Amino acid sequence: MRVALHTKVRGDRIADYEAAHREVPKELTAAIRAAGATSWTIWRWGSPRASEAERGGGTDLFHLLECEDCARLLAELEQLPVNVAWQARMAELLDVAHDSRGGADAGLPVVRELP
């Protein structure tokens, strides 16, 4: 299954957010894969009408998660100490965090898929 998520990084913490993602703990990556994820990509975007400098500072984050079962993945990670620590770190950097209580239903709604 594919799940799209939207979060927002704090404008003054973009560099910290990107640095954190260059150093994701290997234990967390292994746990995410073991819970059924096959891919997780994050894009950062600003308004296309913004100047080049402003686009580079965009705070909207779009995630595409591919996994067997998103609800199971989130449940397996929820109490895992390395994930709890990671989520605490992300809470310091995000204005809008993903609300995982809804499982896959907390993702962005699908409008259309290419047939």
Write out the chain's pLDDT in tens, 115 residues: 999 999 999 999 999 999 999 999 999 999 999 999 999 999 998 766 666 555 556 899 999 999 999 999 999 999 999 999 999 999 999 998 876 655 556 688 899 999 9
Give the model's pLDDT for residue 57.
67
Question: pLDDT at position 45, please?
Answer: 86
Q: What pLDDT is recorded for position 48?
A: 61
Give residue 97's pLDDT.
Answer: 85
Structure tokens at 82: 């390395």
Query: String of b and e for 58-82 (b: at least 16 CB within 10 Å)?
Result: bbebebebebeebbebbebbeebeb
Q: Residue 102 has what pLDDT?
A: 57
Tell me which residue of 21, 68, 11, 72 sits closest to 42, measured CA to CA: 21
Query: Can you give the pLDDT at residue 58?
Result: 87
